[in-house]
Structure 1
Amino acid sequence: MSHFNQQQISIINNVFTKSNTGKIHFGEVIQQLISIDIESYNVNYRRGETTYYLSNGSSLRLEFEAHPEKISKNFDAAKIKSAILQTQSGTVMYPEFKDLTYEAGCIGYIVWINGAKVQYFGCNGDIHTELFPQ
């Protein structure tokens, strides 16, 4: 049973769509999700799913087109860091960020909003942790 209200669902759908089409930056995503009590979200590139979690434990899953065949088997934290920096500078939006992180061997990531960090995962258990910019 979902404990999301209609406003939360609407904001999540809006953020999801705008992010996946490259219309808003990560910082905007985070601010909008904070405003509706989202504490974290998990992006699974292999399944094409993003799951949003409220602080009460409720979750909402949305789907996007998966491309697991694009994901490199070799995890490269330096390439992930480069993709993050390009996103932070505004030269890369989310659709290109996904492609860059596929090439870096990322199978998905978890954004810990309350913890102000993102953990990126590789298929062999590799993890790169990135703190939110200050």
Structure 2
Amino acid sequence: MDPRKQAVAAACLKGAEENTLSFPTIVGMLMEEGFESYAIDFRRARAAYYFPDGGNFELPMHMLDVPVAAAFDAARLGEAIREAQQQVPDYSYKGFCAKAAAAGCAFYVVSFSGRCALYVGRTAETHVERFPD
């Protein structure tokens, strides 16, 4: 695996967790390095990064202070997504992750070619959030 690509992914994850990089900036950086998608797994505290040729790797991420709720609440998840998109006062990525987990999101996948994020609950309920044009 290319160490530069791993370093870019690690910098993006760190930037998200420290609130120094926005989602659009992270998407741009990862796309520039040739990534196809990434996935965040709240239950395992892992971030996985994927290339079009099937190559991939994982990085550890912060552990959540809250468990993933058993019930998937798409409306509550949508509120957390809107807060992130609007960068409301006191927004933080870690706070977003906690709210998403409390809304029953177990993991999410961001697809650059699909221009969307897919949020998945513990019993496979889903919510698709399209990238704005």
Q: TM-score, normalised by structure 1?
A: 0.91
Asked if the contact 2:66–2:101 (Cα under 8 Å) also holds between the matched residues in 1, the reply is no
Moved more, 59-68 or 39-48: 59-68
Question: How big is the shift at 1:59?
Answer: 0.3
Asked if the contact 2:66–2:98 (Cα under 8 Å) also holds between the matched residues in 1, the reply is no
2:92, 2:36 → 1: CA distance?
A: 23
Note the 1:1-134 alignment, pairs <5 A.
4-67=1-64, 69-91=66-88, 92-134=91-133
User: What is the RMSD of the two structures over their aligned residues, measured on CA atoms?
Assistant: 1.4
Question: How big is the shift at 1:69?
Answer: 5.0
2:62, 2:23 → 1: CA distance?
A: 20
Provide structure 1 residue ranges, at least 5 long, that are not aligned to the other structure. none
Q: TM-score, normalised by structure 2?
A: 0.92
SS at match of 1:115: coil
Question: How big is the shift at 1:67?
Answer: 3.3
Question: How big is the shift at 1:5?
Answer: 1.8
Provide structure 2 residue ranges, at least 5 long, that are not aligned to the other structure. none
Give the aligned length: 131
Moved more, 4-13 or 28-37: 4-13
